[in-house]
Amino acid sequence: MPLADLPLAATTSSLDVSSTMWVGLGVLVVVMLVIDLFVFGRGHHTPSVKSSAIWSVVWLLVALAFGGLLWVTEGSGPGGEYLAGYLLERSLSLDNLFIFAVILSYFAVPADVQPKVLGWGIVLALGLRLIFILLGAALLDQFHATFYVFGLLLVYTAWKLARHDTEDIDPAKNPALKLLRKRVPITDNYHGESMVVREKGKRMATPLVAVFIVIATTDIIFAVDSIPAIFAVTQTAFIVFAANAFAMIGLRALYFLLVGVMDRFVYLSIGLAVILAFIGGKMLLIDVWHPPIWLSLLVIVVVLTATALLSLRADQKETPPGPPSADPPLVPTA
């Protein structure tokens, strides 16, 4: 059943997306990526906490400004869907930060190379997600049963998150990495930001190639979770991609801001599990229950706030009395 034949409350709000809007969004995303890659964290050094905080705020304001513009020009429907989608994707991207930390630590990526690795990893992730978004939109438009498939997938993912099942993110078990190691000669050491070098008269890949492959394949796993989730909020591919792009851009600055305190978010998995279970339930009940957008926003905000407060309270209880110990390194080094 095409989306247009579904009840109005179950579909996306009316938004006539023109090719000009797609081009404008594409240009804006490219400009933001260029700024993020070549202005933030430029040079061979780890971005400071102050710089990361400033840029995190800048990207947040830009994302909200885009939502405000969409709200003013296209109405509260598309504007509300974008805001809910952005908040959902941004909250799910917090889990990506933990995975980035695991991958960078596993491969002992040098601190001065990490900003570039994360930057180009996000570019690759956006390209992959655009493919998933267009494919997901086509499936939802042609096959109504896709809603139920997505709903079940989200409920299953919520169950795994609630159980703290992180087996799928162990880099050592990544099948793409295993295949690469069998087929491609890899140097033992990093060579700056080079991905291919000549060593002993032979062209060899550096460990950075393995890092990018693991990041790309891991993001595919995350896209399988997050893309269906946002389609429960809106089925307009333009809004889905915009929310994903603004949530992903700036993730690098947020990483360097939060990496030192990630282990304090002890209830993040539970919070994300609750959000995904709610979104999955919406998709499974799409033919009988059509909650308004503001309810999704409210659930996400309340759950994230409660998660943060409970995590902060748990961290304070576990912090031993006495003078604080020396700060841990900002990022893992080789």
The predicted-structure confidence for 301-310, as pLDDT tens digits, reads as follows 899 899 988 9
**Alpha carbons 272 and 72: distance in angstroms, whole number:** 30
Confidence of residue 266 (pLDDT cuts 50, 70, 90): confident
Once rounded to an integer, what is the mean pLDDT over residues 223-248?
A: 90
Percent of the chain with pLDDT over 70: 87
Percent of the chain with pLDDT over 90: 25
* 181: CB partners within 8 A, 6+ apart: 210
pLDDT of 168 reads 53
**Alpha carbons 7 and 90: distance in angstroms, whole number:** 29
pLDDT of 171 reads 79
Domain boundaries, the chain: 19-143+165-260
8: pLDDT strictly greater than 80? no
**Alpha carbons 216 and 180: distance in angstroms, whole number:** 13
pLDDT, tens only, 83-125: 999 999 998 888 778 888 888 888 988 888 888 888 888 888 8
pLDDT, tens only, 65-84: 999 999 999 998 999 999 99
pLDDT of 318 reads 63
Residues 90, 242: contact at Cβ < 8 Å?
Answer: no
* 189: CB partners within 8 A, 6+ apart: 206, 207
pLDDT of 120 reads 85
Residues 221, 96: contact at Cβ < 8 Å?
Answer: no
Exposed, middle or buried by CB within 10 Å (0-12, 13-18, 19+), for 179? exposed
Classified as helix, coil or strand, 42 is coil
Structure-model confidence comparison of residues 84 and 322, the more confident one? 84
Residues 231, 6: contact at Cβ < 8 Å?
Answer: no
Once rounded to an integer, what is the mean pLDDT over residues 49-78?
A: 93
Average pLDDT, the chain: 83
First-to-last alpha carbon distance for the chain, in angstroms, is: 54
Exposed, middle or buried by CB within 10 Å (0-12, 13-18, 19+), for 274? buried
Overall size of the chain counted in residues: 334
195: pLDDT strictly greater than 60? yes
